[in-house]
Structure 1
Amino acid sequence: MFFLSKATDIVPIKIIQNYYISPVLQITYPVNQYFDILLRNYEQFVEFICIGVTSLPPLGCLPGMITLFGLGKDECVDRLNYDALSFNRRLNSTSQALKQRLDDLNLVVLDLYHPLYSIILINPIQNGFLETRKGCCGTGLFESAMLCNALSIGTCSNASNYIDFELAHIYDS
C-alpha cells in the first residue's frame, strides 16, 4: 500500500524497512525481486489513481456556526450557506478546468451540500434525525471533538437522533 502525502513521502520507506527486519521476506525474495514487486504495485497504484474531493456542506447549518453567527436565532445562517454554494461552484469550475487540461486525470467532486441540506432542512425526521440544530455533546452549541466523548457531561443518550455529535463535524453521530 502506498500513501502519498507531499513529495517527500512517495517512496514507501517503511515497506522497504520491513524487508530488512523480516527474515521471512528476505528468504522468500531477493532484494531486487522485492523491489520489483513494490515498484510494480506503485506503478499500478499511480496509473489507476482516482481523486475524490468533497464540496463544502451547508456551513450555515452546523451547530457551531449557528451559535457563532446566528445572532441568537435557532436557524441556519443563510450568508454562510451562500458562501458555501459560491465556493462549491468555483470548486466544480476549477475541477472541470483541471480535467480538461489533464486528459488522464480521474477526478470526482462529491456533492455534500445538497444531500445534507435536504436531510437537515427538508426531511430530517424521514431520515431518522430528531435534532438538527445542535450537537449531541455537552450543550450541543459549541463543544468540539476534543472535548466530546460518551463520558462528557451533558452528552445525549441517543446520538443517532442527532445529525451532529459536536459543533463542526456533520454526521459524526
Structure 2
Amino acid sequence: MHTTRSMSALAVAVSLLLLLAARCHGYQYNATQGPLVTAVIVFGDSIVDPGNNNGLLTLIKANHPPYGKDFFNHEATGRYSNGLIPTDLIAQGLGVKQLLPAYLGVDHSPEDLLTGVSFASGATGFDPLTPVVVSVISLEQQLSYFDEYRGKLVDIVGEEETEKIIEGSLFVVCAGTDDVANTYFTTPFRSVEYDIPSYVDLLVSGAEAFLRKVSSKGARKIGFVGMPPVGCVPSQRTVGGGLRRECEPKRNQAAQLYNARIQDMIGGLNEEPSFTTLVVYMDIYRILDDLMERGQRYGFTETTKGCCGTGMIEVTGLCDSRFVSVCDDVSQHVFFDSYHPTEQAYRIIVNDIFDNYIQVIM
C-alpha cells in the first residue's frame, strides 16, 4: 500500500461524513463545509467538456440554443446538455465550487485556476485518429494545456503550493465512447484494419499510456469513467438498431469488452509498486442502462429519444433552435440530444458515482 493512499481512521470518518453532508444537500455547493479535495481537474470528451470546443474550427459545439436552456441565465456555454454536466456536479459534491470551467476561452480568476478546470474536448478519444477526424483537441494536447495551466498555478502561489494543489486534486478522465461510436462504427478508417477486440486493445493501450502520463505530472487520485451502453444511445439506435430502433448489440459488446479490459489494466497499474497514483474505475454502464431500461423508476417517460428535434439523430450542429424545436418537459427525458443525457439524468449518474466510487478515492 502506497503511503499516499493511507489515511487515518479519523480522516476516513470525517471524509465519509462530509460526503454524506454533500449528498444531503443534493450536491449544492457549500463553501462552509470545506472542500474534500484541493481542485478538480478533468480530461476527456463531450460528457465533461464545459466549452473548450467553442473556439475551434469544428462542427462539434454546443454553444448555441437549445443547449443550456436550463443553465444559469439560459446560457449556452458549450456544455452538451440542457444544464449542468457531471463535472460541475462532482465539483459541487466535493465542496470545491459550483461550476467547473473550461480551460480555453474563459477569463479565469486566480481562484478559478486554483480550484481546477476542465481540458476536455467534445468528440475526442484515446484513438489518435478520433480527434483528427472531427478537428477537436487530442488528449495529448490536453496534457500540454495542463502543463501550461500548472505554470499559471506556479505564477499565482509558487512551486511548493502548486505541488500540494496537484497532489490533493481529484483528476477525472472520461473518454472512449467517441472512439467506438464515431471512429470505429461510423467511419471506414478503423473497421477495415481492426476487429472489435483488437480495436479495444488499441483504446486500452492508449488509456494506459495516458494514465501513466497524468500520474507522472503529479496526480495522486484519478477517477476513470468507463464506457456507457453505446448501442442504446438514441443516435446509435437510429443508425444501427433497425426500424424498431433497438439497442445495437455490437456497440454494446465493444463497450463491455472495453470496460472489462480497462478494469484489468487499472488493477495492474494500482499493483505496481512504482506507480504512486490511485486510479479508481467508475462504472456508468450499469446505471445508464438502468435509466434506459427502467426509466419510470427514476421519473422518466422517454428513454430512447432525445429532447431536441425528433430526438433520434440531432446532436451538436443539428441540435440548433434555429432549425428544430425542443420538447416541452426536459425532466421526462434521459437524453437531451441524441447522444448526451439531460442534467436530471446526470444528477442520478453522479449520485451513483458518489455512492460507489468517490469515497474509495478519498
Asked if residue 100 in structure 1 is aligned to residue 237 in structure 2, the reply is: no
Q: Distance in 1 between matches of 2:254 and 2:317?
A: 27
Asked if residue 118 in structure 1 is aligned to residue 118 in structure 2, the reply is: no
Q: In 1, are the aligned partners of 2:241 and 2:247 still within 8 Å (CA)?
A: yes
SS at match of 2:159: helix
Q: CA deviation at 1:171?
A: 3.6
Inter-CA distance 151–131: structure 2 relative to 1 (3 Å threshold): farther
Q: In 2, are the aligned partners of 1:137 and 1:156 still within 8 Å (CA)?
A: yes
Q: CA deviation at 1:165?
A: 0.7
Q: Distance in 1 between matches of 2:231 and 2:295?
A: 16
Asked if residue 46 in structure 1 is aligned to residue 166 in structure 2, the reply is: yes
Q: Distance in 2 between matches of 1:172 and 1:58?
A: 18
Provide structure 1 residue ranges, at least 5 long, that are not aligned to the other structure. Answer: 18-33
Asked if residue 136 in structure 1 is aligned to residue 307 in structure 2, the reply is: yes
Per-residue displacement from partner, 1:42-101 (whole Å, max 9, x unpaired)? Answer: 111333331111111111110000001012223211222121111100110111111112
Task: Identify the residue that residue 143 of structure 2 maps to in structure 1.
Answer: 6
Inter-CA distance 150–38: structure 2 relative to 1 (3 Å threshold): farther
Q: Distance in 1 between matches of 2:311 and 2:286?
A: 23
Q: TM-score, normalised by structure 2?
A: 0.39
Equivalent residues in 2 for 1:81-100 (5 A)?
Answer: 81-100=252-271
SS at match of 1:6: helix
Inter-CA distance 59–86: structure 2 relative to 1 (3 Å threshold): same
Give percent identity, aligned residues only. Answer: 27
Q: In 1, are the aligned partners of 2:330 and 2:342 still within 8 Å (CA)?
A: no
Inter-CA distance 140–8: structure 2 relative to 1 (3 Å threshold): closer
Q: TM-score, normalised by structure 1?
A: 0.77
Task: Identify the residue that residue 127 of structure 1 maps to in structure 2.
Answer: 298
Q: Distance in 2 between matches of 1:143 and 1:116?
A: 20
Larger radius of gyration: 1
RMSD of aligned residue pairs (Cα, Å):
2.5
Q: In 2, are the aligned partners of 1:52 and 1:108 still within 8 Å (CA)?
A: yes
Q: In 1, are the aligned partners of 2:227 and 2:285 still within 8 Å (CA)?
A: yes
Q: Distance in 2 between matches of 1:95 and 1:136?
A: 36
Q: In 1, are the aligned partners of 2:331 and 2:342 still within 8 Å (CA)?
A: no
Inter-CA distance 55–171: structure 2 relative to 1 (3 Å threshold): farther
Asked which structure has the greater RCO (Cα within 8 Å, sep 6+), the reply is 1
Inter-CA distance 67–127: structure 2 relative to 1 (3 Å threshold): same
Provide structure 2 residue ranges, at least 5 long, that are not aligned to the other structure. Answer: 1-113, 120-141, 169-219, 345-362
Q: In 2, are the aligned partners of 1:137 and 1:152 still within 8 Å (CA)?
A: no
Q: In 2, are the aligned partners of 1:166 and 1:172 still within 8 Å (CA)?
A: no
Q: Distance in 1 between matches of 2:337 and 2:290?
A: 20
How many corresponding residue pairs?
A: 154
Which amino acid is the alignment partner of residue 42 of structure 1? T
Per-residue displacement from partner, 1:19-47 (whole Å, max 9, x unpaired)? Answer: xxxxxxxxxxxxxxx7xx42122111333
Inter-CA distance 146–94: structure 2 relative to 1 (3 Å threshold): same
Structure 1 runs, 4 residues or longer, greater than 6 Å off: none
Q: Distance in 2 between matches of 1:84 and 1:146?
A: 26
Q: 1:75 aligns with which of 230, 246, 249?
A: 246
SS at match of 2:227: coil
